[in-house]
């Protein structure tokens, strides 16, 4: 099929590249010429493992082109994805200006040569499917409005940054919301190869042994939009729950990693997204929970659980500061090294990253803050030029004469560190492990005064002791 994807951000670029890899002919369109030129040169505008390789393979398999003008691609396409940004407004509502502009332009470009489906891939508030349909219609010329036929679908994405290609090629489900069978039929045809897993797996994203037929969940437009919000709100709540339990574990002398293993093995609960830490961040969870709260408010409903999720998360981000105070007493004049800046590993994304809040709070309290991140330091320098953080070239320079290290992002390479060497460089070998990356025993054996999240007691030589 012929497909246009509007917006070359995270979702748009990955979706376009995956659909082309599956054998469709795809045009990715963006008004930002510099992004399009980069993509034409085979370079990804975002850091995502495997994406440049996938773009190269997709160009060979199905045909993947990059354009700044959507007119010709839309005319030639059966399916047009809207995958533009919906950044949060100060009120918590989503800014729909880009979606609205895209929908009108699609309308203006349509002719009557074929039936087309306009698909909402951007995370839009509940009810936007109808809005997009109305705006596309508004964009049609008077003459075109008599002949043009199109349907609207909602097809939320569930891809995680850092594993976006894996999540797109081997999804747990494909959700499609539509109001008529012609639209649903086009979407089922588009995703037939993906649902049946009929494609060779790329070397950088091998098919999991467990991968099988992917269910297509066919719903109404509104249900599909609600599925997206509910999934993210549930995951945010799940992490928030683990964080809340971690705080109780510290009071009663339990280890949250053991507790979560114990509850996660219950198949009704499941073991994923139960890692306690410094709270969730990133471009989706905060924005989507706020947006769902905003929608419920519009209907006069107060969503207490969602409110609590945000409250627990805000408090959790600052737990590492309390722990530094408990270890060092005075933070003024201390040198604190942050291990990691990105909101999670394998991305350079700093949107709603806990690192920024932790750094700002420490600076405000008079500490000197250093940071090392394998990928995100350039973006941090560029996006937050006023953040008074000293960037270090490696972990050893981060540790040199530092008073404490805080694990902010659990980059796999941090797990490989020679901890004894790191500790030996520090004035005070204090480690606050905000991600429970290290085993307390290993850190203690390396000479660290270690504290994790929700690990009130740990074993040294098989004997359970307390951290303080």
Containing H/E element for 119?
strand 116-120
What's the min distance (Å) between Cβ of 428 and ligand UDX? 27
The residues with which 455 forms a beta bridge, in sequence order, are: 255
Measured between alpha carbons, how far is residue 196 from residues 207, 273, 372, 409 in Å? 13, 27, 43, 36
The CA radius of gyration of the chain, in Å to the nearest whole number, is: 24
Q: How many whole angstroms separate alpha carbon 110 and alpha carbon 170?
A: 32
Size of the site for ligand UDX (CB under 6 A): 19
Closer residue to ligand UDX in complex, CB, 293/328: 293
| 407 touches ligand UDX (CB under 6 A) | no
| 284 touches ligand UDX (CB under 6 A) | yes
What's the min distance (Å) between Cβ of 59 and ligand UDX? 25
| Strand extents, DSSP E, 128-285 | 150-154, 174-178, 216-219
Q: How many whole angstroms separate alpha carbon 16 and alpha carbon 35?
A: 14
> Which residues in the 234-253 window bind ligand UDX by CB under 6 A?
235, 239
Give the one residue of 107, 125, 282, 452 binding ligand UDX; rule: CB under 6 A.
282
Q: 2-6 and 79-82: which strand pairing?
A: parallel
Give the one residue of 30, 100, 161, 225 binding ligand UDX; rule: CB under 6 A.
161
| 290 touches ligand UDX (CB under 6 A) | no
What's the min distance (Å) between Cβ of 280 and ligand UDX? 3
- The candidate with the shortest Cα–Cα distance to 86, out of 350, 283, 381, is 283
Selected range binding ligand UDX among 51-59, 64-72, 276-284, 303-311, rule: CB under 6 A: 276-284
The residues with which 466 forms a beta bridge, in sequence order, are: 457
What's the min distance (Å) between Cβ of 239 and ligand UDX? 4
Q: How many whole angstroms separate alpha carbon 99 and alpha carbon 416?
A: 44
What's the min distance (Å) between Cβ of 19 and ligand UDX? 17
Selected range binding ligand UDX among 152-160, 207-215, 248-256, 262-270, rule: CB under 6 A: 152-160
Binding characters for ligand UDX, 322-361, by CB under 6 A (x = yes): ---------------------xx-----------------
Convert 49-72 to b/e letters by CB count within 10 Å (16 or more is b): bbbebbbebbbeebebbbbeebee
What's the min distance (Å) between Cβ of 455 and ligand UDX? 15
Give the one residue of 160, 207, 294, 428 binding ligand UDX; rule: CB under 6 A.
160
- The candidate with the shortest Cα–Cα distance to 243, out of 230, 259, 232, 228, is 259
Selected range binding ligand UDX among 153-161, 262-270, 306-314, 440-448, rule: CB under 6 A: 153-161
Q: How many CB atoms lie within 10 A of CB 452?
A: 28
What's the min distance (Å) between Cβ of 258 and ligand UDX? 15
| 281 touches ligand UDX (CB under 6 A) | yes
Give the one residue of 30, 48, 157, 290 binding ligand UDX; rule: CB under 6 A.
157
Let me know: does 412 contact 344? Beta carbons within 8 Å: no
| 280 touches ligand UDX (CB under 6 A) | yes
Convert 223-241 to b/e letters by CB count within 10 Å (16 or more is b): ebbbbbbebbbebbbbbbb
Give the one residue of 27, 81, 150, 285 binding ligand UDX; rule: CB under 6 A.
285
| Strand extents, DSSP E, 157-227 | 174-178, 216-219
Closer residue to ligand UDX in complex, CB, 66/343: 343
Binding characters for ligand UDX, 193-232, by CB under 6 A (x = yes): ---------------------------------------x
Q: Which of 18, 28, 128, 284 is catalytic?
A: 284
Annotated catalytic residue 380: no
Closer residue to ligand UDX in complex, CB, 139/345: 345
| 277 touches ligand UDX (CB under 6 A) | yes
Those residues with Cβ within 8 angstroms of residue 354's Cβ, 6 or more apart along the chain or in another chain: 278, 279, 281, 317, 343, 408, 434
Those residues with Cβ within 8 angstroms of residue 399's Cβ, 6 or more apart along the chain or in another chain: 337, 405, 422, 423, 425, 426
What's the min distance (Å) between Cβ of 436 and ligand UDX? 10
| 139 touches ligand UDX (CB under 6 A) | no
Token pair listed for 399:
């540790």
What's the min distance (Å) between Cβ of 324 and ligand UDX? 19
Counting Cα atoms < 13 Å in the Cβ hemisphere of 201 gives: 17
Closer residue to ligand UDX in complex, CB, 135/284: 284
> Which residues in the 254-273 window bind ligand UDX by CB under 6 A?
273
The residues with which 371 forms a beta bridge, in sequence order, are: 338, 391
Containing H/E element for 28?
strand 25-29
Containing H/E element for 307?
helix 304-317
Binding residues (CB under 6 A) for ligand UDX: these are 157-161, 232, 235, 239, 273-275, 277, 280-282, 284-285, 343-344
Catalytic residues: 284
């Amino acid at each position: 099929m012929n497909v246009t994807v509007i917006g070359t951000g995270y979702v748009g670029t990955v979706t376009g590249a995956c659909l082309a890899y599956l054998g469709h002919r795809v045009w990715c369109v963006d008004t930002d010429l510099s992004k399009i030129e980069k993509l034409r040169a085979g370079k990804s505008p975002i850091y995502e493992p495997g994406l440049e390789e996938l773009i190269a393979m997709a160009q060979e398999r199905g045909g993947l082109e990059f354009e700044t003008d959507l007119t010709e691609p839309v005319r030639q396409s059966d399916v047009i994805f809207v995958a533009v940004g919906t950044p949060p407004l100060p009120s918590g509502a989503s800014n729909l200006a880009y979606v609205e502009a895209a929908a009108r332009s699609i309308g203006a470009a349509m002719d009557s040569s074929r039936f087309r489906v306009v698909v909402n891939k951007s995370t839009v508030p509940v009810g936007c499917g109808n809005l997009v349909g109305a705006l596309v219609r508004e964009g049609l010329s008077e003459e075109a409005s008599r002949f043009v036929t199109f349907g609207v679908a909602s097809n939320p994405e569930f891809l995680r940054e850092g594993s976006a290609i894996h999540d797109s090629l081997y999804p747990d489900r494909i959700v499609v919301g539509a109001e008529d069978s012609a639209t649903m039929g086009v979407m089922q045809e588009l995703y037939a190869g993906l649902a049946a897993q009929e494609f060779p797996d790329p070397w950088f994203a091998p098919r999991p042994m467990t991968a099988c037929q992917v269910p297509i969940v066919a719903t109404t437009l509104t249900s599909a939009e609600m599925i997206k919000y509910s999934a993210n709100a549930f995951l945010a709540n799940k992490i928030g729950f683990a964080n809340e339990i971690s705080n109780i574990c510290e009071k009663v002398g339990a280890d949250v990693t053991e507790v979560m293993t114990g509850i996660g093995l219950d198949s009704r609960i499941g073991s994923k997204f139960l890692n306690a830490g410094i709270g969730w961040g990133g471009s989706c969870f905060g924005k989507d929970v706020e947006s769902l709260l905003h929608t419920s408010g519009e209907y006069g409903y107060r969503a207490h659980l969602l409110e609590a999720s945000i409250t627990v998360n805000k408090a959790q981000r600052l737990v590492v500061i309390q722990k530094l105070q408990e270890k060092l007493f005075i933070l003024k004049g201390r040198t604190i090294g942050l291990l990691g800046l990105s909101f999670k590993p394998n991305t350079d994304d700093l949107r709603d990253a806990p690192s920024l809040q932790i750094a700002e709070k420490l600076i405000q309290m008079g500490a000197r803050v250093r940071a090392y991140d394998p990928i995100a330091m350039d973006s941090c320098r560029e996006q937050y030029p006023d953040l008074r953080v000293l960037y270090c070239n490696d972990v050893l320079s981060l540790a040199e004469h530092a008073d404490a290290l805080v694990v902010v992002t659990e980059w796999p390479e941090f797990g490989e560190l020679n901890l004894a060497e790191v500790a030996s460089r520090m004035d005070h070998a204090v480690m606050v492990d905000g991600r429970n990356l290290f085993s307390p025993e290993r850190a203690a054996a390396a000479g660290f005064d270690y504290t994790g999240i929700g690990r009130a007691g740990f074993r040294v030589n098989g004997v359970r002791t307390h951290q303080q």
